[in-house]
Amino acid sequence: MTRHDHLGPRDRPSLGRWIPLSIQHVFAMFGATILVPILVNMDPANALFTAGTGTLIYIILTGAKVPAFLGSSFAFIPALISISRVYGDISWALGGAVAAGLFYCLVGLIIRFAGTGWLDKALPPVVIGSVIVVIGLNLAPTAMNMAMNRTLSDGSSEYSLVMLSIALVTLGVTVAANIFLKGFFSTIPILIGLAAGYFFTLIMGYFFPDYNIINFQIVKDAPWFGLPRFQAPRFSLVPALTFIIVSLATICEHLGDTLVTSKVVGQDFYKNPGLHRTLAGDGLATAWAAFWGGPPNTTYGENIGVMAITKVYSVWVIGGAAIIAMFLSFFRKFSAIIRTIPTPVLGGISMLLFGIIASSGLRTIVESGVDYKDKRNLTISSVIFVIGIGGGRLAFSITKDIQFELTGVALATLVGIILNLLFPSGQITMKEKN
């Protein structure tokens, strides 16, 4: 990638530079943004539309001061899958996502008047880091199932070495791109891995006709242009509470991303426009996305990486990328091509991405200096891990027709918060800095 002259958040580039700079951000966010809806059985076009419009909402709410692109959030995948499975329709999960977005706004309002001290006490690194580990490891079986198993005509599945080879090639190329490539290409390893896995699948289909699993008929049948297939949310208490509890972890993820963006740009976004505004922008973008049938949004580290490389921090460039994403969502053949991506290719990508989520939780714990010689910290993490990864479930009937249920990540987060508030912090839990 060619380095460009420095552009601040309010600076607008010339049109000749504006378009290619925005396209770079589209490439950076694209792989992860479309992967989430594919994994939870949503239309990728919805994700592109709501990522673009959600980013514009964020820009407006923050007074066009923070250059951040919002794309599909991986942290909500377990909740999207579990609620959809229990209720038989993803619309109930979308309702929960709307509630989570509005909860962001409520937290932002509280921060506006009370500061962040209460948040630090309720959600210290030992809780947040452990929950993030659980989020990643909860998704591990999904990744391995996509990577290893072939779906048969009767709906059952069987282990397939060919499928595994496709997944491993995809994983290998993605890892190599992530580690060895420099400049702009280092920001799009997911896209490179998807392309390599797709091409390898075509080769394997040629030599093994039974594994010709890419269906181009849906591309032929799709119109050139059209609106995304929007889906309205449906609301219920349990999905709403589930997503709100999970959002406690993603709120802290937001705090970290905003801090990193501040350091990259060289401006304190915690103070101007204020953390309450960035949270409100993220929350309204998430609620908006779910209202139109898209996955919840989050600020994207991939795009922060692009800004760090190019030294271009212009909100105009981010807004241009948002508009391009919206345009792509109306290109129906493009959306159909995305849906032809083979399952083992997605499995190979997910093996890395879901592991990175878990590893980022460990990174949070390590960098925060959580001391596991302290039995308090050890106990909190241990209980969170077992409940979250082991499939913990809390269910009871409120009335004859209403049943309350929390499972997995949501239950582990709630228990972790309660234990943290109940256990006295009598020992130093943060490593002393020399």
Q: Quick one: pLDDT at residue 433?
A: 37
Q: Quick one: pLDDT at residue 403?
A: 64
Q: Quick one: pLDDT at residue 5?
A: 59
CA 15 to chain centre: 31
Name residue, tokens 């159909």: 336
Calpha distance 352→375 (Å, rounded): 32
Q: Quick one: pLDDT at residue 322?
A: 93
Q: Quick one: pLDDT at residue 279?
A: 93
Q: Quick one: pLDDT at residue 397?
A: 67
Asked if 190 and 170 touch (Cβ cutoff 8 Å), the reply is no
Q: Which residues of the chain have pLDDT under 70?
A: 1-5, 153-156, 184, 187, 302, 396-405, 426-434
pLDDT in tens, 214-238: 878 878 887 888 877 888 899 888 8
CA 109 to chain centre: 24
CA-based torsion, 277, 281, 287, 291: positive or negative? positive
Q: Quick one: pLDDT at residue 184?
A: 63
Q: Find all residues with CB under 8 Å of 141, minimum gap 6, and list them.
A: none
Residues in a beta bridge with 158: 150
pLDDT in tens, 24-61: 788 777 777 888 888 888 888 899 999 999 999 999 99
Q: Quick one: pLDDT at residue 3?
A: 46
Q: Which two tokens stand for residue 96?
A: 């929960």
Domain spans in the chain, listed from the N-terminal domain onward: 15-101+140-367
Cα dihedral value 252, 258, 264, 267, nearest 10: -140
Q: What pTM value is reported for the model?
A: 0.75
What Å distances lie between residue 296 and 47, 70, 106, 190, 301, CA to CA? 9, 9, 17, 20, 16
Q: Quick one: pLDDT at residue 277?
A: 93
Name residue, tokens 């949501």: 410
